[in-house]
Copies of this chain bind each other. A is one copy, B any other.
């Protein structure tokens, strides 16, 4: 039986930005911000049913009538790092992501909102929920562009064809193809809306079960957002019905342009736009 004093001395501060909290903080699912990201992206512009888009918006966002249901489906190969060279541990921190951004208005200003998002990594799920991205686990792939030439290289040039897909629990949720046509000189003409997300944490205790403990509309603030090698071309996209999901409510009625580009940014803060519990 160890004396109390010895054990009380052992009780140092627990640390870690996310759970689990430990004395050395090494088990924490994700390090604290700033979070840095560089990646390759495939994005498909399309139009969904405007009523379905509207039906997904939380209070405080209104439908963007001019958009007529315009939506983007994104696929990303992401490299993450924090402050400790996390990018050199790709088994733990490299990941893939797929999400939808619908167009909306926040007090009249044009914004995007993210109603669906999938990643294949637990640290990414944690960072997502902390911000307001409703991340679920999925399996995501996109064709890559390699420098050594062959029929498999898929170089960044007109005619190159890329595919991308996201699946979850063994069901294909979305499949896309794009064919490059030309470079885009001003990516800001394509992507220029800030992204809003809903930070939400449920309750389970007694009478609180019906109300979340956290419910905020937040701004996905991207420091130093940079695009590179920005190409556009034609696209195809399908979002089939899957039992156990309802993302097919945003199935494409019409598909527009495809885009393939590099993107990077950092995350250091999360402005709260609305607190639904206040």
Which residue in B91, B141, B209 is a CB contact (below 8 Å) of A94? B141
Per-residue interface assignment for chain A, residues 129 to 146, with 1 indicating a CB less than 8 Å from any chain B CB and 0 otherwise: 111001011010111101
Residue A194 interfacial (CB < 8 Å) = no
Residue A169 interfacial (CB < 8 Å) = yes
Interface residues of A in 146-176 (CB under 8 A from B): 146-154, 161-167, 169-172
Residue of A29, A52, A147, A206 with most chain B CB atoms under a 10 A cut-off: A147
Knowing A144-B90, A249-B23 touch, does A10 contact B52 (C-beta < 8 A)? yes
In the bound complex, do residue A137 and residue B152 qualify as a contact, i.e. CB atoms below 8 Å apart? no
| C-alpha gap A161/B88 in the complex (Å) | 7
Q: Could you say which residues of chain B place their CB within 8 Å of the CB of A262? A: 146-148
User: Which residue of B has the minimal Cβ distance to A176?
Assistant: B88
Knowing A205-B269, A269-B204 touch, does A37 contact B165 (C-beta < 8 A)? no
Query: Whole-angstrom distance from the CB of A35 to the nearest CB of chain B?
Result: 9
In the bound complex, do residue A146 and residue B270 qualify as a contact, i.e. CB atoms below 8 Å apart? no
Which residue in B65, B134, B143, B150 is a CB contact (below 8 Å) of A1? B65
Residue A89 interfacial (CB < 8 Å) = yes
In the bound complex, do residue B63 and residue A7 qualify as a contact, i.e. CB atoms below 8 Å apart? yes
In the bound complex, do residue A198 and residue B21 qualify as a contact, i.e. CB atoms below 8 Å apart? yes
Residue A70 interfacial (CB < 8 Å) = no
Which residue in B130, B144, B206 is a CB contact (below 8 Å) of A202? B130
Residue A184 interfacial (CB < 8 Å) = no
User: Which residue of B has the minimal Cβ distance to A118?
Assistant: B122
| C-alpha gap A254/B143 in the complex (Å) | 37
| C-alpha gap A262/B122 in the complex (Å) | 29
Q: Could you say which residues of chain B place their CB within 8 Å of the CB of A201? A: 129-130, 201, 213-214
Q: Could you say which residues of chain B place their CB within 8 Å of the CB of A269? A: 204-206, 209
Knowing A79-B152, A170-B172, A270-B204 touch, does A4 contact B65 (C-beta < 8 A)? yes
| C-alpha gap A263/B153 in the complex (Å) | 10
In the bound complex, do residue A10 and residue B54 qualify as a contact, i.e. CB atoms below 8 Å apart? yes
In the bound complex, do residue A85 and residue B153 qualify as a contact, i.e. CB atoms below 8 Å apart? no
